[in-house]
């Protein structure tokens, strides 16, 4: 195995662990009692103004977290597939 191949495998493994950690974090958040959510964004070509939006309903926050978890799980499956094919 070359050093380049080793580094590629190591990088994939680290990405897999990061995705798993993020999924665990979302699961912990979903099981917590008090959820609040603040989204901050900067409009295009507008570096001076920040737009904030606050979610207060648990259903909205739960839906957002579940959607993010689905995205992370899909990415994780792709990474694990690449890793197993190495």
The answer to whether the predicted template modeling score (pTM) of the entire model surpasses 0.75 is yes
Print pLDDT tens along the chain (86 aa): 788 888 899 999 999 999 999 999 999 999 988 888 888 887 777 666 777 888 888 888 999 999 999 999 999 999 999 988 87
Within the chain, strands assigned E span 37-41, 51-55
User: Rounded to whole angstroms, what are the CA distances from 7 to 1, 3, 13, 69, 86?
Assistant: 10, 6, 10, 27, 12
């Amino acid at each position: 195995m070359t050093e380049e191949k080793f580094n590629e495998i190591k990088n994939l493994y680290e990405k897999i662990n990061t995705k798993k950690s993020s999924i665990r974090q979302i699961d912990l958040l979903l099981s917590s009692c008090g959820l609040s959510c603040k989204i901050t964004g900067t409009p295009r070509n507008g570096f001076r103004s920040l737009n904030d939006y606050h979610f207060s309903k648990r259903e909205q926050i739960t839906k957002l977290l579940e959607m993010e978890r689905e995205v992370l799980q899909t990415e994780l499956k792709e990474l694990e597939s690449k890793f197993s094919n190495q």
